[in-house]
Amino acid sequence: MHSITEILNIILKSIFVGFGVIIPILTLIKTSGLKSIEVKDLFILSAVQLVRISGILYFILAISGNLTVFTAKNASGQGPGIEYFLYLFFSPLMYLLLTQLFWLKKLYMKKPARITLSILMLILPSSWFLLFVKTENISTVAKAVFNTEVISVFCLNIIVFIFMTFTIILLGGKLKDKKA
């Protein structure tokens, strides 16, 4: 059985992964209809709002959980080294830094910056990236990443992100028809 903190961490990571995949695709798609442009822009802006808040929440939850694990392992006097510290705290710190860059309007309004930050959010904080940097045999990492279980979890993360973003749009009432 998972605790509430673990479930929240899973949902927040799903938001980050979905953002890293969907936002670059939506940014590159050309739309012609006025309504479709409005919906696309509304989705992107709502997703940016969601990811900014999610970054703060994930950092707080991950640091509080990881700090207890790190101090418990360090209490014996033969605690883990800097590698373990980086493994625990690198991902939450990267998510926090990358998501908080979206508070700068000049960054998230420009397409190249939005695409770059989204892809960086997908790649940099992932445990696969840390494993890729640390290992000398790249083929083992490639086999681990292109696994059916990993791909299915990746697809589920995208679905969770889309669901969460549309929920925020609908709860905000921004998708209503503007009839006079």
Tell me how crowded residue 12 is: count the other CB atoms within 10 A of its CB.
Answer: 25
142 or 46, which is more confident: 46
Q: What is the CA radius of gyration of the chain?
A: 18
For 34-65, write each residue's pLDDT tens digit: 888 888 999 999 999 999 999 999 999 988 87
Please, are residues 124 and 94 in contact by the beta-carbon 8 Å criterion? yes
Q: In this structure, is the dihedral angle defined by the CA atoms of residues 38, 160, 57 and 55, taken in order, positive or negative?
A: negative
**To 5 degrees, how large is the angle CA 66–CA 69–CA 73?**
140
Q: 128: pLDDT confidence band, cut at 50, 70 and 90?
A: low
Average pLDDT in the chain? 83
Q: 8: pLDDT confidence band, cut at 50, 70 and 90?
A: very high
- Token pair for 117: 């930050």
pTM of the prediction?
Answer: 0.82
For 57-76, what is the mean pLDDT? 76
Residue 125 DSSP class:
T
Q: 133: pLDDT confidence band, cut at 50, 70 and 90?
A: low
**Most confident stretch, 7-11, 74-78, 174-178:** 7-11
Angle at which helices 34-74 and 82-100 cross, to 10°? 160
Q: 145: pLDDT confidence band, cut at 50, 70 and 90?
A: low
72-102 in b/e burial notation, b at 16+ Cβ within 10 A?
eeeeeeeeeeeeeeebbbebbebbbebbebb
Q: How far, CA to CA in Å, does 88 sit from each of 41, 70, 85, 161?
A: 35, 8, 5, 24
Name the residue among 44, 16, 23 with its Cα closest to residue 174. Answer: 44
- Token pair for 175: 């998708």
23 or 37, which is more confident: 23
| HSE (side-chain half, CA atoms, 13 Å) at 98 | 27
pLDDT at position 103 is 93
